Amino acid sequence: MASIKIDCVVKDSCKIGECPFWEVKESSLVYVDVTGQKVCKWNTVTNKVKTVCVDAPIGSVVPRRSGGYALALGTRFAFLDWDKECVTDIAHVDKDKGNNRFNDGKVDPAGRFFAGTMGMEIRPAELELKQGSLYTLQADHSVVKHFDQVDISNGLDWSPDHKVFYYIDSLSFTVDAFDYDLQSGKLSNRRAVYKLEAEEAIPDGQCIDEEGKLWVACYNGGRVLRIDPETGKRIQTVKLPVDKTTSCCFGGRDYFELYVTSASDAMDEEWLKRQPQAGGIFKITGLGVKGFAPHSFAG
């Protein structure tokens, strides 16, 4: 097996880099800076980062079949025309919760956009609890609410056979699974499949590989974990040179590279001096396993 290599490939520092996905047609990585209020695209060929500023904290960006992107922005689902840098609002959630914002999101294999909300943080992981919900934006632009009582809605993905939905509510310190009905988009039978150890800190973003194992980024844990959801065991730990690893996705040639986002928010000068790459994007090669192309929102 090739040895694992970790490179900081984007040095421009995000406050909270999040929600990366690979865009094959431009060999680019698209991601957000949540509190920096930016959608970013790093072109791996030109090595340039292009950003579009938005008007609220942005939880997630996903590709859209008809072109451009769908966003979970503030408490709105919206569309982004990348070339015109134009955002169009589509639907509003959590109208009764003025202090909420969207967080992580991803598109299911049928083209539904899943994204969850949370209360606004005073500091990382310090917020009013149980304010969040998990939502789906359907292809017809209607919104479905799956459940509420969420602390920090975070990483999500689907099993390779599409029968299981994996989900992280960060402050439960577990990775959960639901039975998934792809036909209806309904979730049932919630259970925990992995409980984080103390040094793994806070579970944040996640993605699945072709073997059905989960890669979980650990906020304040400076690592990504590979979890076997069938056995509930951790198979592998890959440590990174920054503590605030936030999310990950597969990309690059044949989806063999794992890209990891990170945050620099709430780090003092001394901490930033020790970890000057905080907020950067990292590429991990040599894992010997590949992931999937992202799905695009159908509407």
Ligand X SMILES: O=C(O)[C@H](O)[C@@H](O)[C@H](O)[C@H](O)CO
CA 153 to CA 26: how far, in whole Å?
A: 30
Place of tokens 């930033």: 272
Asked if residue 201 binds ligand X (CB under 6 A), the reply is no
Contact 31, 261 (CB under 8 A): yes
Nearer to ligand X, 156 or 238 (CB): 156
Set 108, 204, 243, 265: catalytic member: 204
Report, in Å, the least distance between residue 161 CB and ligand X. 27
* Cα atoms in the Cβ-side hemisphere of radius 13 Å centred on 48: 4
For residue 97, give the nearest of 150, 21, 156 by alpha carbon. 150
Which residues, at least 6 apart from 144, have a Cβ–Cβ distance to it below 8 Å?
135, 136, 138, 185
Question: Any binding-site annotation on 121?
Answer: yes
Question: Any binding-site annotation on 101?
Answer: yes
The DSSP letter of residue 254 is G
Report, in Å, the least distance between residue 297 CB and ligand X. 20
Asked if residue 154 binds ligand X (CB under 6 A), the reply is yes
Asked if residue 264 binds ligand X (CB under 6 A), the reply is no
Report, in Å, the least distance between residue 78 CB and ligand X. 17
The residues that bridge with 195 in the sheet, in sequence order, are: 174
Question: Any binding-site annotation on 18?
Answer: yes
Position among 205, 222, 251, 280 found at the interface with Zn ion (CB under 5 A): 205
Asked if residue 121 binds ligand X (CB under 6 A), the reply is yes
Which residues, at least 6 apart from 73, have a Cβ–Cβ distance to it below 8 Å?
54, 55, 56, 57, 58, 59, 87, 102
Report, in Å, the least distance between residue 281 CB and ligand X. 14
Active site residue 228: no
- Here the tokens at position 190 are 């919630």
Judged by the rule CB under 5 A, the positions of this chain that interact with Zn ion are 104, 154, 204-205
Residues of each annotated binding site = 18, 101, 103, 121, 154, 204
Residues of each annotated binding site for substrate = 101, 103, 121
Judged by the rule CB under 6 A, the positions of this chain that interact with ligand X are 16, 18, 34, 103-104, 121, 124-125, 152, 154, 170, 202, 204, 219, 246
